[in-house]
Structure 1
Amino acid sequence: MSRTRRTDEGHGQVGSALSGIAVALGCVLFLGGFVWGAIVYQPYTVPTESMTPTIGAGDRVLAQRIDGSEVKRGDVVVFQEASWGDMPMVKRVVGIGGDKVACCTDGKLTINGQKIAEPYLPAGKSVSLTGIKTTTVPEGRLFMLGDERSGSLDSTVHLQDADHGSVERGAVRGRVDAVAWPMDGMLAKPTGFEALPGGISQPGPLKLMLTAVVAGAVLVLAGAAYGPIAKRSRRPRTRAAEPVRA
């Protein structure tokens, strides 16, 4: 056996081993990403237009399963409260326990007297349509508003309740990170609440999960394609016969 042939065979064995490792690692990343996502996130369908333009009616969202104690101002959450119809609802948290919520000052929502910029609201529609009088959110509870303020059945409808329209933190089922369908992607950060005590929530691990799934798919395809490509490259080429001179 020639040295060249032995070298080619050695390279082929190493390549096959690396190919197998790539496929195995790719499967771990691909399947692991999906399993991780299924554990951390729950899909929901939003039935109404109350969160437009952030989320439309019929959109499928991905909500990270969190405890209600982790919720911060500006979060879009899924919650279920008996007095609100005892069905999963999606709203934005604008106030937490102890906050004084009011509207409006110069057309803006105020939290503890501080005007809040809300770029996610529908363009050209005044936030004053909510007509919120100054109300204090009870401790351990959350004040909810829809981004479509003119037609959202939110905390403003329940202001006369004993809890001033608020929802207890324990009613929260998840925090919405992204709109999965249509594929609008991650929700924008609610930066208007960033300067308030406690700041805003950071996105969950959704991007990391998607990166793992994509990287896994690439490794599986690359590893699976190595064999046919390597075999084709090692195939001996036939040389054309030289013409015979008389």
Structure 2
Amino acid sequence: MSSSTERATDGHGRTTGSVLSGLAVAVGCVLFLGGFVWGALLYRPYTVPTDSMTPTIAAGARVLAEKVGGSEIRRGDVVVFKDDTWGDLPMVKRVVGIGGDKVACCTKQGLLTVNGTPVEEPYLQGHGPAAPVGFRATVPADQLFLLGDHRSASLDSRVHLTDGDHGSVPRSAVAARVDARAWPLGSLGMLQRPGSFAALPGGTSQPGPLRPLVLAVVAGAVLILGGAAYGPLARRKGRGRG
């Protein structure tokens, strides 16, 4: 009996396998291209030029940041922003205070306090203290108080404490929220949301849709490759039977 009669066919003479492989390629293209397009609409890559966010983000690292409005920003978020008082280029810092907060440093244990509540910051370079020199500030309404994770090297809100806004920047200055490190490969991964600020009113933000987007792209690539490989494999198997 020939191999053609051993395989089920549809009304057009196509085998079940070829139909399924075509469907797999079609679904894969939707997932692959859809994931890329959706990601391009929601995310933007940035390069961090300094070591002010070490060890969370090294100097020269590439990050992926979700384009969000300033109203969505919570304490603990790492944001990309631009403020004329700070310079002409986008900067990357961590939000430690929002409008109305009283931010101060340091406790006897070297911790930052927000509205009198000590905040553990495990992401700090050398794991603390929260700052080499003490400071305090009240954050104006609709403003954000920003610090780098490498407190001894970062030029942040502490440098601008004598400004009219007590070192803070408007929420409207925020362009995006960092979700992941994309380069170098050794640091590739999602940026963890710190639990240190969860006990404060407003809590912390949730990660963006980057993880499901990546899964969609990977699943799409697998389906495309698997579906495309079916034809050659089926023909090779058919020749083997012959």
TM-score of the alignment, normalized to the shorter chain, above 0.5: yes
Deviations 1:19-42 (A, max 9, x none): 111011111111111111110001
Deviations 1:142-196 (A, max 9, x none): 0000000001110000000111000000000000001100132111221100111
Quick check: which has more Rg, 1 or 2?
1
- Alignment of 1:101 onto 2:100: no
In the alignment, the residues of structure 1 paired with residue 50 and residue 127 of structure 2 have an alpha-carbon distance, to the nearest angstrom, of: 20
In the alignment, the residues of structure 2 paired with residue 213 and residue 90 of structure 1 have an alpha-carbon distance, to the nearest angstrom, of: 27
CA positional deviation for 1:207? 0.4
In the alignment, the residues of structure 2 paired with residue 226 and residue 217 of structure 1 have an alpha-carbon distance, to the nearest angstrom, of: 14
- Alignment of 1:159 onto 2:158: no
Is the CA contact (8 Å cut-off) linking 1:158 and 1:164 kept in structure 2? yes
TM (norm. structure 2) is 0.93
CA-based RMSD: 1.7
Aligned counterpart, 2:117: 114
Is the CA contact (8 Å cut-off) linking 2:3 and 2:241 kept in structure 1? no
TM (norm. structure 1) is 0.91
CA positional deviation for 1:233? 2.0
Could you tell me which runs of 5 or more consecutive residues in structure 1 were left unpaired when the two chains were aligned: 239-246
CA positional deviation for 1:87? 1.5
Aligned counterpart, 2:138: 136
- Go from structure 1 to structure 2 and tell me whether the alpha carbon gap of 1:123 and 1:164 turns closer, same or farther (over 3 Å shift): same
SS at match of 1:10: coil
CA positional deviation for 1:9? 5.2
Aligned residue pairs total: 236
- Go from structure 1 to structure 2 and tell me whether the alpha carbon gap of 1:124 and 1:138 turns closer, same or farther (over 3 Å shift): closer
In the alignment, the residues of structure 1 paired with residue 240 and residue 163 of structure 2 have an alpha-carbon distance, to the nearest angstrom, of: 84
Which aligned runs of 4 or more in structure 1 are off by greater than 6 angstroms? Answer: none
Among the aligned pairs, what percent are the same residue?
A: 63
Correspondence list, 1:163-182, <5 A: 163-182=165-184
Deviations 1:63-94 (A, max 9, x none): 10000000000000000000001310000000
CA positional deviation for 1:3? 9.2
Could you tell me which runs of 5 or more consecutive residues in structure 2 were left unpaired when the two chains were aligned: none
